[in-house]
A = this chain, B = another copy of it.
Amino acid sequence: MSDDTLTISDRIQAQLDDLTRAERQLAHSILENYPASGLGPLSALAKDAQVSVPTVARMVQKLGFSGYPEFQLELREELKAKVKNPIAKHDTWAERAPSEHLLNRLTDAVIDNIRHTLGQIDPKDFDAACDLAADTSRHLYIVGGRVTHTLAEYLFLHMQVIRPKITHIQSTSNAWPHYLLDVKEGDIFIVFDMRRYENNTLKLAEMAHAKGAKLILFTDQWRSPVHHLADISFSSRIVIPSAWDSAVTPLLLLETMVSTVQNLTWGDTKDRMEALEDMFDQTKLFRKFT
Interface of A is mostly: helix
Q: Does A179 contact B (CB under 8 A)?
A: no
Q: Is A178's beta carbon under 8 Å from chain B?
A: no
| Complex Cα spacing A118 to B152, Å | 27
Q: Contact between A86 and B94 (Cβ–Cβ < 8 Å)?
A: no
A137 within 8 A of B: no
Contact A196-B251, Cβ < 8 Å, known A90-B86, A94-B119: no
Q: Does A103 contact B87, Cβ atoms closer than 8 Å?
A: no
User: Contact at B241–A259, with CB atoms within 8 Å?
Assistant: yes
The answer to whether B93 touches A114, judged by C-beta atoms less than 8 angstroms apart, is yes
B200/A285 in contact, CB under 8 A = yes
Interface residue count for A (Cβ, 8 Å)? Answer: 99
28 contacts between A and B (CB under 8 A): A28-B222, A33-B83, A39-B39, A39-B76, A40-B76, A79-B79, A87-B91, A88-B115, A93-B114, A94-B118, A97-B121, A101-B123, A106-B252, A107-B256, A111-B111, A146-B157, A146-B285, A172-B285, A196-B286, A196-B287, A196-B288, A196-B289, A198-B286, A200-B285, A202-B287, A242-B259, A244-B258, A244-B262
Given contacts A97-B121, A97-B123, A150-B150, 15 further A-B contacts (CB under 8 A): A9-B120, A17-B228, A33-B84, A35-B79, A36-B80, A87-B111, A106-B259, A107-B114, A107-B256, A146-B157, A147-B157, A196-B286, A243-B269, A244-B255, A248-B252
